[in-house]
Structure 1
Amino acid sequence: MIEPGLSAFAAVVLAGGRATRLGGADKASIEIDGRTLLEHALDAVIDAGEVVVVGEQVPTDRPVTFVVEEPRFGGPAAGLLTGRGMLLRRFPTIAVLAVDMPHLTSATFRRLHEAAIGHDGAALTDADGRRQLALVVETARLDAVSPDLEGRHGLAIHTLLAPLDLVGVPALGPEARDIDSWSDLRDARSEQPDPRAGTDAFEG
């Protein structure tokens, strides 16, 4: 159970998908507003004490660790657990996000951490209440439900997290939008984040 006052956290950025609807393009290197999706993702977890990016290494001046998920192309759950295993230090909580969600901000993860107090974690939800790949989870609880290496392959992330008490946090503006297709990319390039989701507007 996440307790009040816990501010130190690690982050795992999931960037290892096949991007089949984008012709196999490297999502992490796609640019929006002159910056790559990876740079947008790293900005969203700027407060993290340590960051692991699960995917092929791409140029960045940020102090992050790159790792390829094991098993290869095993899905988001395998990526999350591989990233967790690469952390050099132990943190009370881990922030998890997909690299293709450019409207996430550091305030998004502060809202998630605030909502998670008294629970095992919190996940961003879209307008229909569906959980998105933007969440925070208590490290000890994630470790408790983690399967062995063989059990990770093809494991759905909602199945991995099903035993945990994750509270839903409604997205503000386009926070929950991801980039799965070229039309998604076009739309994302024309959208502006909801100003309430910005750092200055966070109400903790």
Structure 2
Amino acid sequence: MRYDAVVLAGGRATRLGGTPKPTVEVGGTTLLDRALAATVGADRTAVVGPPGTAAGARDDVVITREDPPFGGPVAGIAAGLAALRRPGAPALVLLLAVDVPRARAAADRLLASPPAGSDGVHLVRRGRDQWLTGLYRRAALEKALAALEPHGAPVRRLMAGLDLARIPDETGVSDDVDTWDDVTRLSEEAP
């Protein structure tokens, strides 16, 4: 199955005291390296974040940024899709937030259950939709983005009009890092 990937690696990380999330190590590996390992099967990957975010990344990795910066995840998705736009691009896009340490396991779950008759699939943890850990039809995302102003828009609004399948995440592969306590807990659980 062919797909592209968008890794959202921007944001202010205020609950981490401003430490950029891509550089945070969980179990001895940076969150960005974990996310990039999860996208190794993608045709191309767009990392949306500040310049230098993915310095030295693979040849198939494009670095981009939402304009203006810090526009939120919807603006980041728009920037990532724009950076990946080209003739013959795959119909599917794997979307990952950089702060998911088990991104590889999450991606494996999503890729094992591609959207059949829906616009996409995403993980659901403890009743909460994890939209930033999903596999979507590019055309559906682009259509939804065209219907709103991406800068500052909530992800819930972007996803509201899409027909999405939900995959229960009972093992916590979509758990994310928001605080230093999360870093500690997830480092102890990291493979």
Q: What is the TM-score normalised by the length of structure 1?
A: 0.84
Query: How far off is 1:165 after superposition?
Result: 0.6
Q: Deviations over 1:36-63 (max 9, x none)?
A: 1001001112111100000022333322
- 1:62 corresponds in structure 2 to 58
Match of 1:152 among 129, 150, 153: 150
Q: CA deviation at 1:88?
A: 4.6
User: After superposition, what is the alpha-carbon deviation per residue over 1:107-141, rounded to whole angstroms, capped at 9, x for unaligned?
Assistant: 53343242521111001110224334201110111
Partners of 2:20 and 2:128 lie apart in 1 by 29
CA distance in 2, matches of 1:120, 1:132: 12
- Structure 1: segments with no counterpart, 5+ residues: 1-6, 194-204
Who is 2:116 aligned against? 117
In the alignment, structure 2 segments of 5+ residues that lack a partner are none
- Segment drifting more, 47-56 vs 130-139: 130-139
- Structure 2 length as normaliser, TM-score? 0.89
Matched, 1:25 2:23: no
Mapping for residues 151-170 of structure 1, pairs under 5 Å? 151-170=149-168
Deviation at 1:147, TM superposition (A): 2.9
Contact kept in structure 1, 2:119 and 2:136, CA below 8 Å: yes
| Equivalent of 2:178 in 180, 192, 197 | 180
Percent identity reads 37
Q: Which residue of 1 aligns with 2:140?
A: 141
Distance 1:111 1:185 in 2: 23
- 1-side partners of 2:42 and 2:100: how far apart? 17
Q: Supply the RMSD in Å over aligned alpha carbons.
A: 1.8
State the 1:144 CA deviation: 1.4
Residue 180 of structure 1: how far off its partner (Å): 0.4
> Which of 71, 79, 104 is the matching residue for 2:76?
79
